[in-house]
Structure 1
Amino acid sequence: MKKVFLSIIILPILLQSCSGQTNKGDLRNKASQKEIEKNNTLTQSDFNVFPGTNVNDQISQVVRTIFQDSKGNFWFGTQNGAFRLTDKSLTHIDKIIGESGKGVTIKKITESKDGKIWLGHSDGISSIDGNTVTNYYESDGLISNDVWSIAADKNGRIWIGTIAGVCVFNGQGFTEFVLPEGQVDSTLGVSSTKMVHSIFEDSKGTLWFSSNAGLFSYANNSLINVSKKAGIQTNFVNEIFEDKNGELWVSTKNGLYHLINNKGENITKGKIETGKGIGSIAEDKDGNIWFVSNQHHLYSYDGNELIKFQKSEYNKGPGVFQIFKDQDNRLWFVGFGGAFRLENGIFINVTKNGPW
């Protein structure tokens, strides 16, 4: 089901019509299609997280993201679409389809203040209101179907980060939000000068954009290049995270930054291998910060010491896309290999049948 909106949104001066879209082919890096396919091709060994693990039991072989809504339901975004867990019953959401008519890979999930669930995926965005699914595409005004992030602000607007920049949806139509253009990340199979990896609204109502042009904040109609002010020494910013004390942490290509008084301290500089950079960030029940480095290594930080999680053949969890703390203060790790929880230092594989 698809809706076409013809209305015009009036937003601050940083917004402009989506009609003058840039050719998406000009935004991607120079990697050939074969190189991209190679970077995204997984083998059976990628899923053998534990000896004897049956990949068919997994929620999906690749779980990109996890989200818990205000009602306590879990949502899993996977390479096979979206799954909802309600009262220990796992259901696939069949009506989420791309503009091409095919299935999609779900990359980010959020909830708006009216209780709708919004999903950004590989061929547009979708909203779920009860049992009603609505899909939105470029033909509806979305700046690009290649969506990498999505967030809902306190005013009910939906912010969508794509390979071609940012769009805002107000319930009536889409309008582009202009960010500075950055650089292509040549180490990734897919990248662009306008890619936005994460959008986040903090507890004070400030919006944060993590992009290939750096980290930007937006409040009171003012867009600020925080990377320059904070001294973040890379254009490639992946994510920003707010801990329970309201302090901000930023994952980047060259390390994990702690923002203190508008200055960034790289707490990993010279201490760990960053390789392709720092990925997802979360906080455990004790206030320790957990993060992924170089796509494979897990670390925790207690404010003084970096501690590497020691994996073993029988306890290594997935190749992590996201770390997530649920409403019961449990840490989830989802990615290549499926969904896992870390309990008492042991990775528990959560399959289609739980344990929930």
Structure 2
Amino acid sequence: MSHFVRTLVAMACVALLAPALAAQDLPFDKPISQFVRRIHQDHTGAMWLGTNGDGVIRRKGDTIDYFSVKQGFGGVAVRGIKEDKAGNIWFGTEGGLTKYDGARFTNYTYEQGLIDNDVWALAIDRDGIIWIGTYGGVSTFDGKSFTHFELPKGEPDPTRGVTSAEIVHSIMQDSKGRMWFGTNGGAYIWDGKTLTNLSEDDGLCNNAVNCILEANDGDIWFATHHNGICFWDGNTFTRVTEADGVRGTEAWDLFQDSKGAIWFPIEGAGICRYDGKTFSAYAKPQGMQSMAIQCTFEDADGRIWCGGYMGLFRLDGESFVSVNAQGPWDPRDN
């Protein structure tokens, strides 16, 4: 499917399911967006919500702004948000790579050298190079030009609607400076000289890797699409199973908070938390109204947020509350 056709399909679906709204037009009794995919807090304290149809939402103070294609933003489905050392915010969307410098948006597409417009993953390495995982492979961007980074092709996964053998779902740089890539062919590690593959043949729980996280203890965790969560200590893989209190197999994200707890959402099961000893689940009895969570985030005040289908959620004590445009943004607002 061509860049143009895929973009048209995405925008047509959005037009039917989740039309973009100006902030002042948002019904307060409805979710801030039907689907929140990414959450970021910038250096000024503003919260950015990447959605799956409304572009990006910014909450700065008590003001909420929606930015989509009409406002010059590069797309409507946001799959990555990263901030560089200069304070620029970068977004990966179905329409390419977008930079926000605090005043305006600048969009980069395959016309400027990006390997594919359909962006699924973003990372910024310690040298400030931006790594972009797309439907058609990986590009790097040094602020001036794009370079293609070659990865072996994986296997298309039509069961999840992905027909590309080159899609990259996740990019991460570890504490040793190595770059990790989550693909449909397992995980790849680039140490600057050699590319190494970790797959089911090596003990990886599933080759369809949605997210990769390096934990504080150095273990590498993997969220996979068809066989849940596993982690690797450099020698051995360990899978998290139902015996640990975790059910479900479709895992989308991994996040470690400031207290060292690891959070991950499982499709149909809510979100799980691992404190180093015990796994705890947050589902409907704990206030989690959505069983299709995509991301977890901790803000500068230590509050835990989740985004997914049905919008935005915040942990309040031992349960989650749903947050719309009116709030409650802070526990004091409850």
- The reply to whether TM is greater than 0.5 is yes
Match of 1:184 in 2: 156
1:86 maps to amino acid: K
Match of 1:9 in 2: none
Q: Secondary structure at the match of 1:292?
A: strand
User: How do residues 115-134 of structure 1 correspond to structure 2 at under 5 angstroms?
Assistant: 115-134=87-106
In structure 2, distance between residues paired with 1:274 and 1:213 = 21
2:143 to 168, 171, 180: 171
- Do structure 1's residue 158 and structure 2's residue 102 form an aligned pair? no
Between 1:238-247 and 1:250-259, the stretch displaced more is 238-247
In structure 1, distance between residues paired with 2:125 and 2:55 = 24
2:299 to 326, 343, 347: 326
2:280 to 304, 307, 315: 307
Name the one with the larger helix percent.
2
Q: CA deviation at 1:285?
A: 4.8
1:303 maps to amino acid: G
In structure 2, distance between residues paired with 1:269 and 1:182 = 28
Match of 1:287 in 2: 260
2:315 to 322, 325, 342: 342
Match of 1:49 in 2: none
2:61 to 74, 82, 87: 87
With structure 1 as the length reference, what TM-score do the two structures score? 0.78
Q: CA deviation at 1:335?
A: 1.0
Identity of aligned residues (%): 37
Match of 1:20 in 2: none
1:354 to 309, 327, 332: 327
In structure 1, distance between residues paired with 2:270 and 2:30 = 25
- Do structure 1's residue 66 and structure 2's residue 39 form an aligned pair? yes
Work out whether residues 28 and 326 of structure 2, in 8 Å CA contact, stay in contact via their aligned partners in 1: no
Match of 1:203 in 2: 175
Work out whether residues 331 and 341 of structure 1, in 8 Å CA contact, stay in contact via their aligned partners in 2: yes
- Structure 1's unaligned 5+ residue stretches are 1-22, 44-53
Q: CA deviation at 1:56?
A: 5.7
2:320 maps to amino acid: F
Work out whether residues 159 and 169 of structure 1, in 8 Å CA contact, stay in contact via their aligned partners in 2: yes
In structure 1, distance between residues paired with 2:205 and 2:219 = 20
The structure whose RCO (Cα within 8 Å, separation 6+) is larger is 1
Q: CA deviation at 1:217?
A: 1.5
For these two proteins, the number of residue pairs brought into alignment is 310
Q: Secondary structure at the match of 1:278?
A: coil
Rate the CA distance shift 1:125–1:305 in 2: closer, same or farther, 3 A. Answer: same
With structure 2 as the length reference, what TM-score do the two structures score? 0.82
Rate the CA distance shift 1:225–1:321 in 2: closer, same or farther, 3 A. Answer: same
- Do structure 1's residue 141 and structure 2's residue 113 form an aligned pair? yes
Work out whether residues 229 and 262 of structure 1, in 8 Å CA contact, stay in contact via their aligned partners in 2: no
C-alpha deviations, 1:44-97, integer Å up to 9, x for none? xxxxxxxxxx67643212111111223332111112111222233222235344
- Structure 2's unaligned 5+ residue stretches are 19-26, 330-334
Q: What is the CA RMSD across the aligned residues, in angstroms?
A: 2.9
C-alpha deviations, 1:279-330, integer Å up to 9, x for none? 2122345433221223543222233433333423x82233311111222222
